[in-house]
Amino acid sequence: MTEITTAATCDCPADATENVEGVIVTGHLMTCSLGEPRRYVWRDGGDLQLGTLADYARTWERGIYDDCREELSAELRTWDEVYQLTVESLGTDDADWMRYRLVVANEAVLVGIDGRF
Ligand SMILES: [Zn+2]
């Protein structure tokens, strides 16, 4: 099967939102093959890591607590694409948790950081 497409070719509603393995995927239903979270490679210090955005978010979260965030690359790559991570701050909630949304293209992961540290 040769499938080289530049545009998504499926019938999913554009506002479809699914939470798949901790990754919020927009634009595809869970039943769609494009709705599966992408697997990325990124650099963490001297290592290359492989995983979904949810895995990346766990590393990112640890980096905040350990204060070594600059070790972690904000560039996530797939086989043929390079994606740039966007971090959106959603503010602090009543329990002093700082809420962030890590976004890569149509994928997002919500992260809470305990602000009392
Ligand atoms: Zn789809």
DSSP secondary structure string, 51-73? Answer: E-HHHHHHHHHHHHHHT-GGGB-
Give 115 Cα–ligand 1 centroid separation in angstroms. 37
The answer to whether position 51 is within a domain reads yes
Instruction: Kindly report, residue by residue over 33-90, the tens digit of the pLDDT.
Output: 899 999 999 999 889 999 999 999 999 999 888 876 678 999 999 999 999 999 999 9
Per the prediction, the chain carries an average pLDDT of: 90
Please report where in the chains the tokens 């949810």 appear, as a residue: 54
Residue ranges making up the domain that contains 91: 17-114
CA 60 to chain centre: 10
Element (H, E) at 102: strand 97-104
Q: What is the largest CA-CA distance in the chain?
A: 53
Q: Is the pLDDT of residue 4 over 70?
A: no
For the entire predicted model, the pTM comes to: 0.86
Q: Is 86 a domain residue?
A: yes
In this predicted structure, the answer to whether residue 8 has a pLDDT above a threshold of 80 is: no
In a domain, 95, yes or no: yes
8 in a structural domain = no
- Spacing, Cα 77 to ligand 1 middle (Å): 21
CA of 66 to the centre of ligand 1 (A): 38
- 22 in any annotated domain: yes
Domain count for the chain: 1
CB 113 within 8 A of CB 98: yes
pLDDT attached to residue 84: 97
**Bridge partner list, 87:** 102
- Report the C-alpha gap between 92 and 78 in whole angstroms: 32
CA of 75 to the centre of ligand 1 (A): 24
CA of 87 to the centre of ligand 1 (A): 25
